[in-house]
Amino acid sequence: YEKGVFVNEFAILSKGKEGSWWETPAGLYKVQSKEKEHFSSFGRVYQPWSMAFQGNFFIHGWPYYPGGRAVESTYSGGCIRLA
């Protein structure tokens, strides 16, 4: 949304597994912060176009390692990964 007007939607590629410790929390949230590149100390990867929405949970693009190689796994530590 921009200024209350719907702009676009994106497919969810992965999220935290339901019933696990890393389950992505359901609900409606406001974006708390935005970063072009967030470094995850948990996954030791960069998460492009990150938006924090609940504590340590983020919506972000495909993560990559510090050397630039894309993460191959679809595992999520609770974040929502978009394409």
pTM of the model: 0.86
4-33: b or e for each residue (b if 16 or more CB lie within 10 Å)?
A: eeeeeeeeeeebbeeeeebebeeeeeeeee
Instruction: Give yes or no: 60 in active site.
Output: yes
Q: Is the pLDDT of residue 83 over 80?
A: no
Instruction: Give yes or no: 38 in active site.
Output: no
pLDDT given at position 1? 84
Q: Is the pLDDT of residue 80 over 90?
A: yes
> Are the C-beta atoms of residues 22 and 77 closer than 8 Å to each other?
yes
Which tokens is 78 given? 């609770």
The active-site residue, picked from 45, 52, 59, 79, is 79
The active-site residue, picked from 60, 78, 80, 81, is 60
Q: Domain residues of the chain, as ranges? A: 12-82
> Are the C-beta atoms of residues 38 and 50 closer than 8 Å to each other?
yes
Per-residue pLDDT tens over the stretch 6-58: 999 999 999 999 999 999 999 999 999 999 999 999 899 999 999 999 988 99
> Are the C-beta atoms of residues 57 and 25 closer than 8 Å to each other?
yes
pLDDT given at position 25? 93
